[in-house]
Structure 1
């Protein structure tokens, strides 16, 4: 029916819903988005489509935003590895302020120019956000997030421990029975290391001559990813540390293979079938290649000794506060430090950095970076050099009380919200829900 006058609280022009029903559907859309909202509305006896729910949500006005003095910024993945967005958080209220597609520094700079009241910007150590903050708010202090600093340190520790995998096992308490074959030491340098050194020198020589990465790849017959990895590495040791001592699919079963080898079983096919019954997921060729070194005289299969702890477990011992380690783990870590001087120095560096971080002693940062750079631990030295590139923000992160905890919390909310998105309306819906779903 058509009314000459609207009934207050019941009708509105050109509307198919009463204000009360429209408000109810809007709340359902805010809480559950499209498909899930349709299912809840149907259970309540309301017939509505998912596109209608999305339109109701997008029609809501953005809340008013007051002055923002402390801003948090971070990226999130719509689709990991392909499509990213950026979220801005008011660190005082822990509420989302804005969300835009992409993670370019220019978008952040444009937003900051419209909000000159910002005096602190909490971010990760992304170069794009750092440049955007510098251009858009030169008056603001940039603060590198301590969580990401510790996460990057943990990655450097894991790489270092991985290069010492052969030394992680405890020495055997007693010599094995029977004659012990003399162990032939492997060559001083593996073929892969020699090849990496040669390629690294060739790539950097051509870079010095002004060739692009694509031209270098064509000239040397290397793929673009390999050329980029070699060209971006500061030293060849950084590349070698990532390439040596890689985990192999046969590694968990080498102890069994060594024992059977010393028992006289040299048939690779038989050994392959035996470890297959133990859960080996690989193929026979990998077993043949592993045993080939013992057939050609390059070495003798060592007698199986104590199983070394996993690299990640050792990393957790080193990066955990000593007071929080169990007695057993603390004893194992002490044994490792006594057997390996490099792991001992690594643990000392990590604990010194942790004390600097928890005590907010940013004034010690330069001294700590210099100390690590002088120690021949390539992954850790690379971590320290990267800190120099963003020195002021890292120092602020280790001195000021600000952190990106509120940003990470909202990123977790985004991960849950994006599972409910669909269609081209995804970004608009996500933006509105981030702003309104408190």
Structure 2
């Protein structure tokens, strides 16, 4: 077409939008126009399976304004966002709110992860329930160069300063929302620092992949045979296809030597007695996030290593209580999934669980239960009704594809038109 791109965009903006009808049941969810900075809201007709609108932000006032123009809506499915709950109450006070079941499961796992971050140092002191089986799998990262160690120490010092600042503000009575606004930290970070008794360490995460990992079996076998020559091991690995330099092999071997290397400086050499000492065998401590997934899974679905880790955590009295409550809540949610309507007995079970969780004596669980109690009507509706915000999640996936294909031109007004016209 003999026309410019700007003319085409102007023509697209002039196209009339399709009529969406009068929706009765809608789902709302947030999506990132610019991840980490700018968020908006998508509204979906759950009965007709089509998007209705894109709102410029995810505030309660914006959602309430949109809902006031659709007074016939009698059900709104949403996540656990307090902004969406307040906006629905303001804009459609007679509409029934439904909390999404997937988000309830996600919030349960996040609650368990927050508890694990707090008690992780204490859990490390628990004795293993079974002797750890010998394994060549890495449980920690390889040793780093001195410059990397200094950079890491500087970062930890910076995190410690931010943590101390958040704790001082909490002690002074400031709200988490105000701390988030004044410090510029993410809401999740402010909440994590506010509840943690010590600075949560990022080192709790597992090691990343290494090009040396596929050759650990060979290295372990050669070490058992007595070979502690790093260059010899590197030449053998190179013949097997290892693409790296000897540096990574030397790092791996330096942590497993039974005697100093010939090239080791004398003052750095350990005594023979220290060289023969081996630390007591312990199970590797998983990071809080994957450990929280293991604790919520069905015990019959766990592999032997994960089952031993779960049994190790359950030795702790508080841990057994927290995990038991989390698993019971997940079973209540699962009983209402798949289009099944929850029977009245399940609602009674949920009410009893909620009262028990609010008085369990564990602060993280009590805070989670209090948030569920504030949203009790929506949670009960999520357990009783088949509606959820799953369709909104699917529409957001399509919206992301359109946004990325329009890179550089994806302003909200143009993206909204293309999104609604493509439906």
Same fold, TM-score > 0.5, yes or no: yes
Structure 1, unmatched stretches of 5+, are 1-45, 175-194, 218-222, 253-272, 281-299
TM-score normalised over the length of structure 2: 0.64
User: Paired residue for 2:150?
Assistant: none
C-alpha displacement of 1:274: 9.2
DSSP-derived class of the 1:303 partner: coil
Contact (CA 8 Å) 2:347, 2:380: kept in 1 or not? yes
Instruction: Tell me the CA shift for residue 331 of structure 1.
Output: 3.5
1:146 to 101, 115, 122: 101
Match of 2:328 in 1: 352
RCO greater where, 1 or 2, for CA within 8 Å and sep 6 or more? 2
| Distance in 2 of aligned mates of 1:408 and 1:315 | 24
Distance in 2 between the 1:58 and 1:103 partners?
24
Q: CA RMSD in A?
A: 4.2
In the alignment, the residues of structure 1 paired with residue 394 and residue 101 of structure 2 have an alpha-carbon distance, to the nearest angstrom, of 15
How far does residue 408 in structure 1 lie from its aligned partner after superposition? Answer: 0.6
Distance of 2:252 and 2:278 partners within structure 1: 20
When the two structures are aligned, how many residues end up with a matched partner? 322
The answer for the alignment partner of 1:287 in structure 2 is none
**Runs of 4 or more consecutive aligned structure 1 residues displaced over 6 Å after TM superposition:** 195-202, 228-233, 249-252, 273-276
The answer (yes or no) to whether the contact 1:87–1:96 under 8 Å persists in 2 is yes
CA distance in 1 between partners of 2:293 and 2:184 (Å): 31
How far 1:213 moved relative to its partner?
6.5
* Larger CA Rg, structure 1 vs 2: 1
Whether the aligned pair in 1 keeps the contact of 2:56 and 2:412 (CA below 8 Å) is: yes
Deviations 1:320-361 (A, max 9, x none): 2345x1452563255325533333223211221012112233
Note closer, same or farther for the CA distance 1:310–1:82 as it changes in structure 2 (3 Å cut): closer
How far residue 98 of structure 1 moved from its aligned partner, in angstroms, is 0.8
Structure 1 residues 58 and 160: CA distance shift in structure 2, 3 A: same
User: CA shift at 1:411, angstroms?
Assistant: 1.2
SS of the aligned residue for 1:98 comes to: strand
Q: Which runs of 5+ in 2 are unaligned?
A: 133-160, 209-246, 255-276, 336-341
- Could you tell me which residue of structure 1 aligns to residue 39 of structure 2? 84
What CA deviation, in whole Å up to 9, does each residue of 1:93-117 have, x standing for no partner?
1100011211121221122111111
Report what 2:296 is aligned to. Answer: 319
1:336 aligns with 312
Mapped contact 1:109–1:135 kept (Cα < 8 A): yes
Aligned to 1:117, which of 50, 61, 72? Answer: 72
The residue that corresponds to 2:110 in the other structure is 155
**Aligned counterpart in structure 1 of residue 252 of structure 2, from 278, 281, 303:** 278
Contact in 2 for aligned 1:89/1:97 (Cα 8 Å): yes
Once residues 163 and 35 of structure 2 are traced to their aligned partners in structure 1, the CA distance between those partners, rounded to angstroms, is 33
Where does residue 60 of structure 1 map in the other structure? 15
* Paired residue secondary structure (1:67): coil
2:109 and 2:206 map into 1 onto residues whose CA distance is 26
